[in-house]
């Protein structure tokens, strides 16, 4: 299966997942209210923070090693499955002991236990999807993602509209995760005729654990960075603040599929051109940052100026305290957008350890900031901690990235100011229009003004559109280069 099809399959499924997740979260927030939503989200965040312990980088290691040597698939699978069973038991025990130390009510502790069962199924599911990743076929994983999120959506809405207790809402995650696991398991047994043999061979699993160590470390940082804010809010100030903060976070997170999609497209191109054509690499790197600025800046102005309308229309008046955290997190989003090409370049150029160092440093800073700011500023403190952390990550990324390639900083700075000027005019239009026109019409008119100004001041040219087209559709020339470098299309 071609690289472009793989990217299309997985990116499309993740976009579908994020849209469905966003719609589901609106129902969840409105029907549960801030306090119950906070309890549910705290339990999920707490369990997810421990999910890396079920894997410790073994899934990524498994994919890489099987891709290089498919004859050893069953040998690796048997050893990693055995390890993951031990790790899963260990993780669940740690989860139970840890939530006990938080002195949370029995209901929340029970919700954490249920969420823990869900992450165990997910962990085994990703291992079996890893088999198909090793064969460079993402079609089945894409279908699994859609199946999983559809089950959560449908079953969750039934529970919400029937007003069933919170544990039933968590049970929907378990059911969805179970089918998410069973689907690739059946495919592996039927399509690839895999025979599962549980085994623990020191000569096999110890080298795998050594290889997995850097991935495990990155995973630990990633989980802490992603979920510590919600856990700290729930512990230090109360679950209702988790509800208010997570509403702001989820609305911001809805836009994060954009840099994720860019990274998915950029990574293979960066990998090729880092070896074969540095000039082309620099050009694509610069243009990717330009396009991400082109998208991020209007999102920033529009969301900040329409934050009150967005929060109250989507979630209702109970979530008024989410407005300021949302505005802060949207500033944060700009730095997330602009870091994504940098992270892709670190990985494509074999500098994963640099990326791990950056993320690890920022994770420690983020933990300290959350503990310092949340007791006084509550959800706003968590948002400010996230913003400062991403500014530091952005700064570290571009500082070290300059040691890999010499890109045109002047071009990027000039482009930023042009786009920022267009965004500023769009913002002024929003301030004028929102007193006169309906909400959706304001967004439409402001978008037209932004695009018109960007075009008139030369912010975007025909050359830019052509380069963007070439990067997204992955030109035939790139495919030929991939094949030249040893890409084999699997027969599954």
The CA–CA distances, whole Å, from 339 to 264, 333, 345, 400, 471 equal 14, 10, 10, 12, 18
Q: Are residues 222 and 285 in the same domain?
A: no
In a domain, 241, yes or no: no
The CA–CA distances, whole Å, from 450 to 6, 143, 454 equal 33, 37, 6
Q: Are residues 74 and 113 in the same domain?
A: yes
Q: Are residues 314 and 218 in the same domain?
A: no
Q: Are residues 189 and 315 in the same domain?
A: no
Residues 6+ away with beta carbon under 8 Å from 89: none
Q: Are residues 225 and 321 in the same domain?
A: no
Please count the other Cβ atoms lying within 10 Å of the Cβ belonging to residue 350.
Answer: 11
Q: Are residues 165 and 44 in the same domain?
A: yes
In a domain, 243, yes or no: no
Please count the other Cβ atoms lying within 10 Å of the Cβ belonging to residue 79.
Answer: 25
Domain hosting 150: range is 1-236
End residue of a domain, out of 236, 269, 285: 236
In a domain, 471, yes or no: yes
* Per-residue pLDDT at 251: 87
Contact assessment for residue 328 and residue 244, using Cβ atoms and an 8 Å cutoff: no
DSSP assignments along 173-242, one per residue: HHHHHHHHHHHHHHHHHHHS---------HHHHHHHHHHHHHHHHHHHHHHHHHHHHHHHHHHHT-HHHH
In a domain, 4, yes or no: yes
In a domain, 435, yes or no: yes
Q: Which two tokens stand for residue 334?
A: 């700009």
Q: Which residues of the chain have pLDDT under 70?
A: 1-11, 136, 264-265, 267-268, 459-492
In a domain, 64, yes or no: yes
Q: Are residues 81 and 162 in the same domain?
A: yes
Q: Are residues 336 and 456 in the same domain?
A: yes
Q: Are residues 336 and 412 in the same domain?
A: yes
Closest CA to 321 of 275, 403, 377: 377
* Per-residue pLDDT at 227: 87
Please count the other Cβ atoms lying within 10 Å of the Cβ belonging to residue 409.
Answer: 11
Contact assessment for residue 251 and residue 332, using Cβ atoms and an 8 Å cutoff: no
Q: Are residues 72 and 137 in the same domain?
A: yes
Using CA atoms, how far apart are residues 406 and 107, in angstroms rounded to an integer?
55
Q: Are residues 178 and 307 in the same domain?
A: no
In a domain, 248, yes or no: no
In a domain, 247, yes or no: no
Q: How many separate domains does the chain show?
A: 2
Using CA atoms, how far apart are residues 38 and 375, in angstroms rounded to an integer?
17
Closest CA to 227 of 51, 28, 24: 51
Q: Are residues 156 and 260 in the same domain?
A: no
């Amino acid at each position: 299966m071609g690289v472009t099809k793989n990217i299309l399959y997985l990116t499309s499924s993740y976009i579908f997942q994020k849209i469905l997740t966003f719609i589901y979260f609106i129902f969840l927030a409105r029907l549960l209210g801030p306090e119950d939503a906070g309890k549910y989200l705290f339990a999920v965040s707490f369990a997810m923070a421990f999910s890396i312990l079920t894997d410790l980088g073994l899934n990524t290691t498994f994919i890489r090693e099987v891709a290089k040597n498919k004859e050893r698939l069953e040998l690796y699978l048997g050893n990693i499955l055995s390890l993951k069973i031990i790790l899963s038991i260990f993780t669940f025990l740690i989860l139970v002991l840890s939530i006990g130390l938080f002195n949370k009510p029995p209901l929340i502790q029970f919700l954490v236990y249920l969420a823990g069962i869900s992450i165990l199924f997910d962990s085994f599911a990703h291992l079996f999807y890893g088999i198909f990743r090793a064969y460079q076929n993402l079609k089945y994983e894409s279908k699994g993602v859609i199946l999983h999120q559809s089950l959560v959506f449908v079953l969750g809405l039934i529970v919400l509209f029937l007003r069933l207790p919170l544990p039933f809402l968590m049970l929907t995650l378990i059911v969805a995760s179970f089918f998410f696991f069973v689907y690739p398991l059946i495919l592996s047994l039927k399509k690839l005729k895999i025979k599962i043999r549980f085994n623990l061979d020191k000569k096999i699993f110890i080298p795998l654990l050594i290889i997995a160590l850097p991935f495990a470390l990155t995973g630990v940082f990633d989980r802490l960075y992603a979920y510590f804010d919600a856990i700290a809010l729930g512990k230090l100030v109360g679950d209702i603040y988790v509800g208010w903060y997570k509403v702001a976070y989820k609305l911001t997170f809805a836009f994060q599929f954009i840099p994720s999609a860019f990274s998915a497209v950029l990574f293979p191109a960066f990998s090729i051109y880092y070896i074969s054509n540095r000039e082309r690499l620099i050009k694509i790197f610069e243009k990717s940052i330009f396009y991400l600025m082109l998208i991020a800046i209007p999102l920033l102005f529009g969301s900040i100026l329409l934050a009150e309308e967005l929060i109250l229309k989507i979630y209702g008046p109970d979530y008024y305290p989410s407005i300021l955290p949302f505005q802060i997190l949207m500033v944060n989003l700009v730095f997330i957008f602009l870091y994504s090409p940098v992270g892709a370049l670190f990985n494509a150029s074999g500098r994963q350890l640099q990326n791990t160092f950056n993320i690890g440093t920022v994770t420690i800073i983020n933990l300290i900031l959350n503990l310092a700011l949340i007791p006084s500023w509550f959800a706003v403190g968590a948002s400010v901690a996230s913003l400062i952390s991403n500014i530091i990550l952005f700064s570290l990324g571009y500082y070290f990235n300059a040691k890999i390639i010499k890109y045109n900083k002047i071009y990027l700075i000039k482009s930023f100011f042009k786009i920022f000027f267009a965004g500023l005019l769009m913002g002024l239009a929003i301030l004028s229009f929102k007193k006169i026109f309906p909400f959706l019409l304001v967004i439409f008119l402001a978008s037209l003004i932004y695009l018109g100004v960007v075009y008139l001041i030369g912010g975007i040219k025909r050359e830019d559109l052509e380069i963007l087209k070439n990067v997204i559709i992955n030109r035939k020339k790139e495919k030929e280069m991939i094949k030249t470098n040893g890409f084999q299309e699997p027969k599954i």
